Structure 1
Amino acid sequence: MDALRAMPVWERGLHLFWLAGPFFLLIERTPADAWLTIVSLAFVIRTIITRDTGWLQSLWVRAGFVFWFWCIIAGAISSAPGYSIGEALIWFRFPLFAMATAFWFGRDRRLLYAMLLSTALGLMIMCGILTAEILMIGHQNGRLSWPYGDLVPGNYVAKVGLPALVVMVALAVSIRGRLAALSAVLALMVVIISLFAGERINFLILACGGLLAGLVWKPRPARYLGLIVTGVLGSVAAGYAFPQLASRFSDKLIAGVTSFETSVWWHTLNGGWVVARDNWLFGIGTGNYRHMALDLLEGVPFTKYDPHPHNFYLQMLVETGIIGLVLGSFFLWSIIAECFRAGLRNRGNVMIATAFVVPLAVFWPIATSADLFGQWNNIFMWSGVALALGVCTSSPAQK
C-alpha cells in the first residue's frame, strides 16, 4: 500500500500494528488492552517528540481532558482516593486511543479504508466463531460466550463492528449491483448473529444503528423497506427455532422493563440513583461504586448491588457528581456533534455521512450500558468510536 510505503520503517510498523487491532480484539482482553495502550502511548511519545499539539484545539479533545481532570479531582476528595485516582488516570487511555486514531493513525484516507476492511474481516470471523458455537454447543441460558469464555461476544459484534455495519447497510439500500447485494447479505447476517448472542442492548445498538444509517445516505425507499422486512422475518424465524431466545427478547424483556417491584434492571438503576442522591455534588469517586455500593445499599428496598449502575450517565452522576455528569455529557455529545457536522459537510462519502451513528448509538442516554470506567467494554466501545472519529477529523485534503 502506497500510504504505508511512504512512511519511515518505524512508523510503518506501528500503523500495521494499529491495523491489526480488530484481530487482537478477537483474542482476549489482555492482548486487546495491550494493543490499545501501545497505540495510545506511541501517540503521546510522538506528540512530545514532534511537538505537534494542533490536535488539542479540537473541542471534543478539550472536553475530554476537562472531564478527565474532574474525574481525578472527584477521586482525590473521595473516601478512597488512591484507588479512585488510579482508576481515573488509567481510564484516559481509551479517549487517548480515539485521539491517536483521529489525529495520527487515521490521517490518511487509504489507511482508514484499510482499517474499515480490517474491522469488517474481524467481524466476519467473529460471526463465524459464534455460528460454530451455536451449531456445536448451543446457547448458555440464551447467551453465547465464544471465543472469550465470557458472555460478551455481542460487544465485539455491536461496538467494534458497528462502523462496518452502518456502511454495509447504507450501501445495501442506496446502490445497485453485486456490492449492494453482498452488503445486504452481510449486514443481515451480522444482525441475526447479534440476536443469537442474546445481548439485548447490543442487538438494539446494531439494529437501530443500521436502521438510522440506511436513512442518512441516499436511500431507495423500496430497498430500505425490503431490508427491514427481511431482517424482521429472519429474527422471527430465529425466535421460532430457539424459544428460549425468543423469550429473552419478548416476555422477559417486557417484564424487566414494566415491573419495578421484580425487575433486576430497575433495582440496579435505582441502586445507582440512591447512591447518587446522597452524593450528588462530588460523587463517591471515580470507579468507587463497585467497592462502596454494597454497603451503601444494604437494607434499602428495591435496590440491587452491581459493580456499576448499568447506565453511563447515571454512573457519571454517582461517581463524579453533578459537575462530572455535565462535563462528561458534554464530552460524549461533542464527539457525536463532531461526527454529525462532518457528515453534513461530506454527504458524498458514505463513511463520513454515516459515522455519527456510531457514537450516537453507544452513547445514547437511556441505553443500558456496561462500566464507563471499566476495561473490557471500553476496549470494544472506543475501538468503534475511534474509527468514526478518524473518518470525520481527517483534513479535507486527505478525503
Structure 2
Amino acid sequence: MHLAATCFLCLIPAFLLFARGAADGAVVLIALLFLVRSAVHRDWSWVREADIAVLLVIWLIMNLLVSPFAEFTGKSFGRSASWLRFVVFYAAVTRWVLADQKAIRAVCMAFLATIMIAAADALYQFFAGYSLLGGQHMNGRLTGPLDRPNIGIYLAKTGFATMTLAFALYVADMKQKAFRVGIVVLAFALMIVFLSGERTASVLSLLAIGCGLVGLFLVGGKSRLAAMGVAVLVLGGVGTLLTVSDRIFARAMAIGNVVGDYSGSIYGELSALGWRLFTEHPVTGTGMGNFGLVCPDYRAEGVIRECHPHPHNFYIEWLSDTGLVGTLPWLVFVAIIVWAGVRHIRNGSRQSLVAGLYLGTLVLSFFPMAATQSAFSNWPAILAWNSIAVAVAALRLSQGRTRSSVNSSS
C-alpha cells in the first residue's frame, strides 16, 4: 500500500500538467489507501494531532453548519463533502507516505524531473510562441504544457516544496544528489516563473526567495555571504529582465496600476463583493462555491462589472463562502503550521535554511494580500495541498520524525 501511495504521489505533478482528473483521482486513492492502512493497523492516532484535528473540525463545520444554510445547497454540499479528500491526503502524505526516507528520495526525483520538463517546455514557448507538449498558444503569458497561463504558480509551488524536501533529506542523511539537482532545477524553474508574466506568481516567488535567504543567513558563517550574493543575483536578474523585456515590464507596471487603484480594479470589486457577502452572512457565509452563483444578482444592481467563480483572494473566499465558523478554524490551522516553521528557524545551523524554505513554500499559498486562485476548486486546490503537505513532511523530516524505511504493505 505504501509503495502504491508513493507512486501516486510521484505522479501528481505530471497529472496536474496533462490530466487534471487523474490528479484528483491520485489524491483520492492516496487518501483511501491511508484509511485502509489505518483500519488494518487500527492506528487512528493521526486524527488527534493538532493540525489534522483542526482540518477535520473544519470539514464537519462545512457540512453541518455551512452547506445546510447555503444559498445553493447542492453546490455547497458538493464542495464541502468532497473537501475531506484533501484533509486525508494531507494526513497521508505528512504522516505516512513521506515518513519514509526512501519514498522521500523517490518523490524528490520524480517531482524534479516533472518540474524540469514543464519549465523546459515553457522556455521553448517563450522563444517559439507555442508549447511542444500541448499547451495553449502564448498570448501575453506563458502556459507551458498547461491549457491556461498558470505555469508560473505551478512551478513556484511545486518547486519550492520539492526543494524544501530535498534539503531536509540532505540534512537528515547527508546524501546530496537530490539537493544538488534541486538547486539547479529550482533556479531554472524560478527563471521561468519570472518569464511567465504571471504577476502574482512572480511577486510571491520573490517573497518565498526572501524567506529562504533569511533562513540561509541565519545558518551563519559563510552562508551569510552566500545569502547576500544570491540576493544580489536575484535582484540583478529581475532588474535585467525588466530592462530588456517590454512584455515583462508592462506586466510589472500593471501591478502598480492595480495597487494604485485597487478599489476600481476588477480584483478590488471582487474582493469588495466577497466582503459584502460575508457581512450579509457573517456566521456561515453564502455557501461553498456559491460566490459565482450569487454574483449575477449584484451585477444586475451595478455593484460589480463582471462575475467570476470566486473573489480571487484566499481569505475573502473563506469568509464569503464559509463565514466566521469556517474561517476562524482555518486561520488556526494556518497559524499552527506557520508557527512550526517560525519555531524551527531558531534552531540554527542547516535547520534554519530548512525552515526558511518551508516558510517560503507556505507564503506561496497563504500570503493574505495576493490575488489567488480558488481555495476549493480542483486544480488549484490540489496544487496547493500537494505543496503544503510536502513542505510539512519536509519539516517533520528535519525534526527527525521519519523512518529510514517502511514495509511496503504498511
Q: Quick check: TM above 0.5?
A: yes
Q: Is the 8 A contact 1:343 1:355 kept in 2?
A: no
Please name the residue that 2:155 is paired with: 157
Q: Please, what TM-score do these two structures have when normalized by structure 2?
A: 0.85
Please name the residue that 2:11 is paired with: 20
Equivalent-residue separation in structure 2 for 1:201 and 1:166 (angstroms): 21
SS at match of 2:46: helix
- Number of residue pairs the alignment of both structures matches: 385
SS at match of 2:325: helix
Q: Is the 8 A contact 1:344 1:353 kept in 2?
A: no
Question: 1:70-219 to 2 correspondence within 5 Å?
Answer: 70-72=61-63, 73-137=65-129, 140-165=138-163, 186-217=185-216, 218=219
Q: Deviations over 1:274-332 (max 9, x none)?
A: 22221112211111112112213432445642210111111111111122221111122
Which amino acid in 2 is paired with 1:374?
Answer: S
Q: Please, what TM-score do these two structures have when normalized by structure 1?
A: 0.87
Q: Is the 8 A contact 1:194 1:203 kept in 2?
A: yes
Q: Give the alignment's Cα RMSD to 1 decimal.
A: 2.9
Q: Deviations over 1:102-138 (max 9, x none)?
A: 1111111332233223222222111101011112116
Please name the residue that 2:403 is paired with: 398
Which amino acid in 2 is paired with 1:132?
Answer: Y
Unaligned runs of 5+ in 1: 1-9, 172-176
Please name the residue that 2:288 is paired with: 286
Query: Structure 1 residues 190 and 15, CA, compared in 2 at 3 Å: closer, same or farther?
Result: closer
Equivalent-residue separation in structure 2 for 1:321 and 1:358 (angstroms): 26
Which of 127-136 and 338-347 deviates more? 338-347
Q: Does residue 229 of structure 2 align to residue 223 of structure 1?
A: no
Equivalent-residue separation in structure 1 for 2:188 and 2:328 (angstroms): 38
- Which one of 324, 327, 330 corresponds to residue 325 of structure 1? 327
Equivalent-residue separation in structure 2 for 1:392 and 1:117 (angstroms): 18
Deviation for aligned residue 1:50:
2.1
Q: Is the 8 A contact 2:160 2:361 kept in 1?
A: yes
Q: Is the 8 A contact 2:101 2:402 kept in 1?
A: no
Q: Is the 8 A contact 1:71 1:88 kept in 2?
A: yes
Query: Structure 1 residues 345 and 326, CA, compared in 2 at 3 Å: closer, same or farther?
Result: same
> Identity over the aligned pairs, expressed in percent?
22
Deviation for aligned residue 1:41:
1.6
Question: 1:24-43 to 2 correspondence within 5 Å?
Answer: 24-43=15-34
Please name the residue that 1:6 is paired with: none
Q: Does residue 239 of structure 2 align to residue 236 of structure 1?
A: yes
Query: Structure 1 residues 391 and 211, CA, compared in 2 at 3 Å: closer, same or farther?
Result: same
Equivalent-residue separation in structure 2 for 1:331 and 1:179 (angstroms): 30
Which amino acid in 2 is paired with 1:53?
Answer: W
